[in-house]
Amino acid sequence: MENGAAPTAPAVIVAIDGPSGTGKSSTSKAVAAQLGLSYLDTGAQYRAITWWMVNNGIDTGDPHAVAAAAGKPEILSGTDPAGPAITVDGVDVAGPIRTQEVTSKVSAVSAVPEVRTRITELQRTIAAAAPHGIVVEGRDIGTTVLPDADLKIFLTASAEARAARRSGELKGADVNVTREALIKRDAADSSRKASPLAKADDAVEVDTTDLTLAQVIECVVTLVEEKRAGK
Ligand SMILES: Nc1ncnc2c1ncn2[C@@H]1O[C@H](COP(=O)(O)OP(=O)(O)O)[C@@H](O)[C@H]1O
Ligand SMILES: Nc1ccn([C@@H]2O[C@H](COP(=O)(O)OP(=O)(O)O)[C@@H](O)[C@H]2O)c(=O)n1
């Protein structure tokens, strides 16, 4: 099978977690496209709700205010790996959710339990509806959102490699500033009470520090194909 899922291939649910810059989005999109699966970027959903809070004057540093507003925005996520769309109340926010302001506030918003309950429910509904299966990437997919996933991957990489990758994207960004911001966000995501960033006990850990993106994709595709063959 070269491209797309064979009509008889069983649906497969893949959870890909890990800290920032380990390659979750690039790997997940490519694996989903190659195997004919749907794709869900859960970080984009947390960014979208954060964008809405900022746009509506909610103090993102006040967990009570964030909790009270958590049910208000309507967040819709597309699942096409070739063009994953995200809208809030009908507005395309694919660009605005990537600003520095949203990036600096997203950890505080996503630590609020009411936000997580709402977004987790959306994620489970989307995963259940995927016809051939789905690759879902985030921080708590293997541990909390989809604990029965067929395959769980936990990507890691050194802080240096991750910072170099991220500052390559943010043209002109100082690599040391990027590294500190990334470490701070990972610490916040790992230490929160409500479903923190964590490796599930049954996840396969892949250290991508010295691997090319193509090598990581190949590794994950092989693991998915092995799972499918055994189903
Ligand atoms: N193994 C790798 N080697 C080099 N660059 C990579 C690798 N994996 C991802 N990248 C690049 O690093 C950046 C961050 O990757 P991304 O997939 O967005 O990470 P994450 O979703 O984990 O934050 C992207 O520019 C991507 O192309
Ligand atoms: N499953 C998830 C996914 C993201 N998040 C939050 O959303 C933020 C942005 O996620 P992202 O995947 O877009 O982050 P990067 O791609 O910038 O690393 C994370 O830093 C977490 O605070 C989460 O709490 N749980």
Q: What is the pLDDT of residues 24-72, one digit of tens each?
A: 999 999 999 999 999 999 999 999 999 999 999 999 999 999 999 999 9
Q: What is the pLDDT of residues 74-115, one digit of tens each?
A: 999 999 999 989 999 999 999 999 999 999 999 999 999 999
**Backbone dihedral angles phi then psi of residue 82, each to the nearest 5 degrees:** -80, -20
CB 217 within 8 A of CB 27: yes
Measured by CA distance, the residue closest to atom 23 of ligand 1 is: 21
Question: Ligand 2 within 6 A of 46 CB?
Answer: yes
pTM, 2 dp: 0.95
Q: Give the pLDDT of residue 4.
A: 52
Q: Give the pLDDT of residue 152.
A: 98
Closest CA to 165 of 153, 182, 184: 182
Question: Ligand 2 within 6 A of 189 CB?
Answer: yes
Pure H helices in 17-173: 24-35, 42-55, 63-69, 100-110, 113-129, 159-169
Q: Give the pLDDT of residue 18.
A: 98
Q: What mean pLDDT, rounded, does the chain reach?
A: 94
Q: Determine the 3-state secondary structure of 39 from DSSP.
A: strand
Distance CA 154, CA 90 (A): 33
Question: Ligand 2 within 6 A of 140 CB?
Answer: yes
Q: Determine the 3-state secondary structure of 215 from DSSP.
A: helix
- Percent of the chain at pLDDT > 70 equals 95
Say whether 19 counts as a known binding-site residue.
yes
The second-level CATH assignment, the architecture, of 12-224 is 3-Layer(aba) Sandwich (3.40)
20-34, 49-63, 162-176, 212-226, range with the lowest pLDDT: 162-176
Written as one letter, the residue type at 133 is: G
Q: Look up residue 17 and give its two tokens.
A: 């977690």
Closest CA to 131 of 223, 32, 203, 45: 32
The total number of residues shown for the chain amounts to: 231
